Amino acid sequence: MINKSIHNSLMFSLLLILASCTGIKSQSIKTNTTSNSKPNILFVLCDDLGYADVGFNGSKDIITPEMDKLASNGTVFTSAYVAHPFCGPSRAGIMTGRYPHAYGSQFNIPANSDVSAVSGIPLNETFISKVLQSSGYYTGAIGKWHLGESEEFHPNKRGFDDFYGFLGGGHEYFPSIYKAKYNQQVAAGNNNIWDYLKPLDHNGVEVHETEYITDALSREAVRFVKDASKKEKPFFLYLAYNAPHTPLQAKEEDMKVFDGIKDKDRRTYAGMVYAVDRGVGQIVKTLKEINQFENTLIVFLSDNGGRTDKGANNTPLRGVKGDTYEGGFRVPMFFHWPNKVAAGVHFDYPVSALDFYPTFASLANAEISKEKELDGKNIWNDLSNKKAPYSREPIFAMRHRSGFSDVGVRQDEWKATKAYNGSWKLYNVDNDISEEKDLSSKYPKLLQDMVLKAEAWSKTHTEPRWFDPQSLKKVWQEEDMGEFKNTFKISN
């Protein structure tokens, strides 16, 4: 079985120590800078956004002018990966800097169950928010949480001074609609009401929102940034939009922008993305008004790939949300920071969302505990020097299905993929981004080496703390899935 404050100085040194940790366990990381200046960090996360659903990443029909402006004046990462191909585990990876499989969080926390009432990311996993808060940052989380609903797992207990949003895995978007449904359920005596209908939460207190949810989250982000400007601290804002995650619900005026899109789902989806883009523009405007735009690192990405059956477009990637094909866990991403991040650059080397933890901590001149394990690395020097952070080193993904596990391994230009209980395949994704031409027979030793690395990685995993759906628990046990009996076998 597998084992278990705001500073006004505009000069910030680019000389940072490259934090080690490309393997399973990190060394102790004591960050170092040659300046006392700490940047604000604005981290914008979309939910189920397709790879090709923003202008800066090739969208032909959805316009995102605000984000495109930032991307064109920043660095776009063309080979950015998240730690898991769906929501909860991917977000856990971002917050902990570790693959979620290492602490039993490789499934979404199941909604509306006895499990969800008591489950959350283990408390011994210190979140990046706590590290930044301890180093003097004013911290905020806005939007979707999905990392634990009970009090001990609440954002305010995990390093966030201010939280506004919802604790579950999603939410309906129009208050006039979801409030009526919620009140109906309450009147019927239902004590287990669907997360998507519940009132929003502001620092543990229920709030009665009146705006379209995406606009409300943007409004609260503007509020947080203004509040932060009154404090003698830099800020870290984790802005986790639930758009364009289902249900597909957009404002009519946003959908009218895309009248040329005939497919209703795609048009609605486009309106949802456009609302996010508008919100990002409002936050940027506020940063400029309070003279903090120049001292703010803006990071944008999606938590995983898009659902093509629900309006998304992952072109040219193969696969969808949940897959270990590129379309499942390779995501659109950019960094923007005037005079600190190169403008008009495409960074083509692979990077991981796990890298945010040590990279942000280093920029904040924050100390990470010697006991803290990390799977990502500080990529700042490599980004600045246009070098590969993961030269000859793998980035992994694993998704458990009913009775078997899918795996993806990205290493340099190569991608080894095992999907849908099929055989292992090998692709050169620099030349074949769509994973169409299997080169496993031509480079068998390379494939074997990558698969062996994935197998070694799997031995660091622990048993899942919960399952989603719950029925998978029985399958996991009956099929001894934790043994990975056939997962790493390469067929001839």
Range of weakest confidence among 25-39, 202-216, 388-402: 25-39
pLDDT at residue 22 greater than cutoff 90: no
| Domain shared by 163 and 56, yes or no | yes
Beta-strand relationship, 351-352 and 345-347: unpaired
Sign of CA dihedral 165, 166, 170, 171: negative
Residue 492: per-residue pLDDT: 66
Query: H or E stretch including 476?
Result: helix 472-478
Q: What is the mean pLDDT of residues 450-471?
A: 97
Interval 106-143: pLDDT, tens = 999 999 877 887 899 999 999 999 999 999 999 999 99
Interval 319-373: pLDDT, tens = 999 999 999 999 999 999 999 999 999 999 999 999 999 999 999 999 999 999 9
Q: For residue 191, which amino acid is it? A: N
| Domain shared by 306 and 366, yes or no | yes
The overall average pLDDT reported for the chain is 93
| Domain shared by 459 and 401, yes or no | yes
Question: Burial of 277 by CB count in 10 Å (0-12 exposed, 13-18 middle, 19+ buried)?
Answer: buried
pTM over 0.85, yes/no:
yes
Total domains in the fold of the chain:
2
| Domain shared by 218 and 325, yes or no | yes
Tokens (6 digits) for 209: 């929102």
CATH code of the domain covering residue 444: 3.30.1120.10
Listed residues 385, 403, 437: the one ending a domain: 385
Residue 9 lies in a domain: no
Find the DSSP H helices in 203-329. 213-228, 252-256, 264-289, 326-329
Listed residues 358, 385, 412: the one ending a domain: 385
Residue with tokens 């093509």: 308
Range of weakest confidence among 188-192, 259-263, 294-298: 188-192
Beta-strand relationship, 235-240 and 138-144: parallel
